[in-house]
Structure 1
């Protein structure tokens, strides 16, 4: 089975972000993994708040995935801050 990692924000309404990515990957027979860049408070009418993951925690999520199940593909979605976007990953 093919694997894919989504690096994106979490959408509390379930219509976008990692929730939508996981639904799409699963529907296409792909094993989905995720690394969360931010939590959002949102619904179908808009985003009311964003809470960023720290770059250190994002790196820990990425390290955990890449050291166990190396993804065949990576999809990048919402990266809401410059510090989070500069997160470095050391590949095994």
Structure 2
């Protein structure tokens, strides 16, 4: 078998870990001037000056999608009741039950 798939010359495992990236390189401090002086702080928020949530390109009716999922509530309940189910899964089921 070794003749059909020869072994590597290097035993492997001799590659070092990559250097961690500097995640603070692009951060702007609170004491620095704004990079977008003409854009209000509330841009992208549901209230206040500037564009609202429509700039995010989300579906117009996210609640409609959740209403359609109510039909699958028994399946989601079963999933949420399994050992090791995530807190997010249980919260999702609670949200659906609140809509039912």
TM range (shorter): under 0.3
Larger RCO: Structure 1 or Structure 2 (Cα < 8 Å, ≥ 6 residues apart)? 1
Which structure is larger by alpha-carbon Rg, 1 or 2? 2
More helix by share: 2
Q: TM-score, normalised by structure 2?
A: 0.21
More strand by share: 1
